[in-house]
Amino acid sequence: MTVLTPSPQTDVAGDEPWRPRTPLGRALDFCRRKPLGTIGLLIVVIFALAGGFADWIAPFDPEENDFNSMMMAPSFVHLLGTDQFGRDIFSRLVFGARTAMIVGFGAAVGGGLIGLVLGVTSAYFSGWFDLALQRIFDILMAFPLIILALAVVSVFGTGVFNVVIAITIPLVPRCGRVVRASALAVREIPYVDAARALGFGHARIVLRHMVPNVLASFLILLSAFVGQAILAEASLSYLGLGVQEPVAAWGLMLQGSAEDYATTAPWIAIFPGLAIVLTVLGASLFGDALRDAIDPKLRDR
């Protein structure tokens, strides 16, 4: 008697051939199931590419003053008009995207990675180290992100690099607390005890055995941090404590007399404000879609 077993090329019912899912197939499936998340990712990618190729995209020097073209309405020459100093708003918007992406991704990745390592290490060692580190996190999280960033900027000074540091520090405890909660469950899995029994060092156990198992929550946090960092940079620049002139930044474009021309030249404030809203919204939509795609409880909804 011959026993028929299902072929690895067909499913149990024998209806459709079974194929391993490739990264491209997973990406296409994500786009099909999460259209809003795909739109959000496209928005962020478009602004990132615009900032990366700003030197070739911008038709004018973003720092050049043309007092013969002050507050010109949008036209074929100046696509989004000019500001009160005659500077082309489209050019400044494109170069401002570069500043926003440098600060946003720099602070998000820096704060996320530091928080990831500290959170997993805290869960692994536990005891007095975990207690002391969590109290430090509690102190830092007691301050809103923008308030703590303002305090750090007042110490280190303004500038793109200092703004990245100022936004990175508040993001570290926010990532560390969430990652620690996931790492506590991972620590109790038997393979961690097996790694200890085999004589592996603490660094190897943390980085090679525990960190990969908390990457799902880390990636979701990272996507959310990008939007928060971009918004914080714009807020600091608007308050005069972030990126300084003549560097193009969206917050600087809203600073000063932009509100004074709200009725006579509204495009001065509308376009940079719209860029901030779209970028933060895009990062938020992608983060929500990524959470739904990674979480097995929400994956099939």
Chain-centre distance for alpha carbon 43:
13
Q: What is the pLDDT of residue 2?
A: 47
pLDDT mean across residues, the chain: 84
Distances in Å between the Cα of 253 and the Cα atoms of 91, 157, 159, 270 are 12, 20, 16, 10
Q: What is the pLDDT of residue 186?
A: 82
pLDDT digits (tens, 9 = 90+) for 229-253: 999 999 898 888 888 887 888 988 8
The CATH architecture assigned to 30-52+90-294 reads: Orthogonal Bundle (1.10)
Higher pLDDT, 270 or 6: 270
Q: What is the pLDDT of residue 18?
A: 47
Structure confidence at residue 29 as a pLDDT band (50, 70, 90): confident
Higher pLDDT, 122 or 25: 122
pLDDT digits (tens, 9 = 90+) for 165-186: 999 999 999 999 999 988 888 8
Does 228 score more than 80 pLDDT? yes
Does 261 score more than 90 pLDDT? no
Does 114 score more than 90 pLDDT? yes
DSSP secondary structure letters along 148-178: HHHHHHHHH-SSHHHHHHHHHHHHHHHHHHH
Angstrom distance (rounded) from CA 145 to CA 229? 9
Domain boundaries, the chain: 30-52+90-294
Angstrom distance (rounded) from CA 233 to CA 149? 9
Structure confidence at residue 17 as a pLDDT band (50, 70, 90): low
H or E element, residue 41: helix 35-52
